């Protein structure tokens, strides 16, 4: 029986592992399908405290992994498919290979996956002129045209943020009305650097000789007309999918599928904690995920002490 199983190897998962490891709980981490989480898909991370010259996303995650392992965390590269809570009060964590692992507590740090348009070369362009994080990557695109696709609050927030850097921000939306809250929509549309492109979507990414995005093919969804739009980066902001589906009734979620925490990082199921982007649609930052991972570890430790298990 494990003291704690941590699901996910992003900033929240590794931070939870560092803290539970230092508490001598010998955490077991189950990696999920994207070891290292979303930061492994970015280039330089300039806003993680402690790195004044920035640090590459993959390197930051490798450092976190090494730090977790230094304190006794074990990592298994497998995907969790379901969890049950037993009548005895512990958890059975089932992975895709059918193996069942038992644990007194579980910390869910499975993150949220940005939605993509589903175009053929899309995944290979991530980090090469295609991203889902303006806060992470906006500063790399100074004085060049960029676009945001989406019409919700995220798209508006990203577009407003990008006007600090880009020469022009095309806001490409599939309808002619933004879904975003009125205040965010009004603000973004009033910004002279934002050029809305209504009733349109991207049907193709066009790349230069280095494989970086140089333009997109726009498709007008009303007329069917196609045109080419030159730009250096596409910020995809069509929503996220929190990776919480495998938890079933063990957690309550909001209307977008994000886990609802009851107190701190606790969930409605005793002994089950949630940290990071799987429970946070507001901040979604590496450092806030790490902070929640720390909090979940401290709460798991207290829970085990109260139960007299450790
Ligand atoms: P969202 O509200 O679901 O909006 C997604 C947008 O992407 C919609 O405009 C949608 O178009 C468009 N879209 C979806 N699939 C698409 C596709 N395949 N092709 C083209 N366009 C597509 O997602 P979100 O903006 O990430 O916001 C999620 C939640 O977080 C919301 O509750 C939001 O209010 C909240 N949030 C709040 C803040 C804030 O208050 N500061 C900031 C960010 C997010 P349609 O409009 O046509 O459906």
Q: What angle do the packed helices 57-70 and 11-22 form, to 10 degrees? A: 20
92 alpha carbon – ligand 1 mean position (Å):
35
Q: Residue 150: CB within 6 Å of ligand 1? A: yes
Structure token digits, residue 183: 């205040």
194-197 sheet: strands from edge to edge: 130-131, 233-236, 145-149, 168-172, 194-197
Structure token digits, residue 211: 């494989």
249 alpha carbon – ligand 1 mean position (Å):
25
Angle at alpha carbon of residue 261, lines to 255 and 262, rounded to 5°? 115
Which of 113, 114, 152, 253 maximizes ligand 1 atoms within 8 Å of its Cβ, making it the mutation to test the pocket? Answer: 152
Coil, helix or strand at residue 61 = helix
Q: Residue 281: CB within 6 Å of ligand 1? A: yes
* Ligand 1 nearest-atom number relative to CA 151: 9
Active site residues: 133, 136-137
Domain ranges in the chain are: 2-113+240-306, 116-236
Q: Residue 157: CB within 6 Å of ligand 1? A: yes
| pLDDT given at position 18 | 98
178 alpha carbon – ligand 1 mean position (Å):
9
| pLDDT given at position 178 | 98
Q: Residue 179: CB within 6 Å of ligand 1? A: yes
How far apart CA 11 and CA 17 sit, in angstroms, is 10
List per-block mean pLDDT (blocks of 10 residues) for the chain, which spans 310 residues.
97 98 98 86 83 94 98 96 97 97 98 93 94 91 98 93 97 97 95 98 97 98 98 95 96 96 97 98 93 98 90
| pLDDT given at position 253 | 97
Q: Residue 256: CB within 6 Å of ligand 1? A: yes
- Which class is 116-236 in CATH? alpha beta
Q: Residue 70: CB within 6 Å of ligand 1? A: no
3-state helix, strand, coil in the chain (%, to 5): 30, 30, 40
Are 2-113+240-306 and 116-236 equal in CATH topology? Answer: yes
297 alpha carbon – ligand 1 mean position (Å):
31
| pLDDT given at position 40 | 82
CATH code given to domain 2-113+240-306:
3.50.50.60
């Amino acid at each position: 029986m494990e003291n704690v199983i941590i699901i996910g190897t992003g900033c929240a998962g590794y931070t939870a592992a560092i803290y539970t490891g230092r508490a001598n709980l010998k955490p077991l981490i189950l990696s999920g399908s994207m070891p290292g989480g979303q930061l492994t898909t970015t280039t330089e991370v300039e806003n993680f405290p402690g790195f004044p010259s920035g640090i590459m996303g993959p390197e930051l995650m490798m450092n976190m992994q090494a730090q977790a392992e230094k304190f006794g965390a074990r990592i298994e590269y497998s995907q969790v498919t379901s969890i049950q809570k037993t009548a005895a009060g512990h958890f059975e964590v089932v992975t895709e290979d059918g193996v069942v692992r038992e644990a007194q507590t579980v910390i869910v740090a499975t993150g949220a996956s940005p939605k993509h348009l589903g175009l053929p070369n899309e995944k290979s362009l991530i980090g090469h002129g295609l991203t889902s994080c303006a806060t992470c990557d906006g500063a790399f695109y100074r004085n060049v045209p960029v676009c945001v696709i989406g019409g919700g609050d995220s798209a508006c927030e990203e577009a407003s943020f990008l006007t600090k850097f880009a020469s022009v921000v095309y806001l490409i939306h599939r309808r002619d009305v933004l879904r975003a809250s009125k205040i965010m929509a009004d603000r973004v549309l009033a910004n002279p650097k934002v050029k809305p492109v209504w009733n349109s979507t991207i049907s193709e990414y066009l790349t230069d000789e280095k494989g970086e995005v140089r333009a997109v093919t726009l498709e007008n969804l009303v007329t069917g007309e196609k045109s080419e739009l030159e730009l250096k980066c596409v910020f995809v902001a069509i929503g996220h999918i929190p990776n919480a589906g495998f938890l079933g009734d063990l957690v309550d979620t909001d209307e977008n599928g994000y886990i609802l925490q009851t107190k701190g990082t606790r969930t409605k199921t005793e002994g089950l904690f949630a940290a990071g982007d799987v429970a946070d649609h507001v901040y979604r930052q590496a450092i806030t995920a790490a902070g929640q991972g720390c909090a979940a570890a401290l709460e798991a430790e207290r829970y085990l002490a109260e139960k007299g298990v450790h």
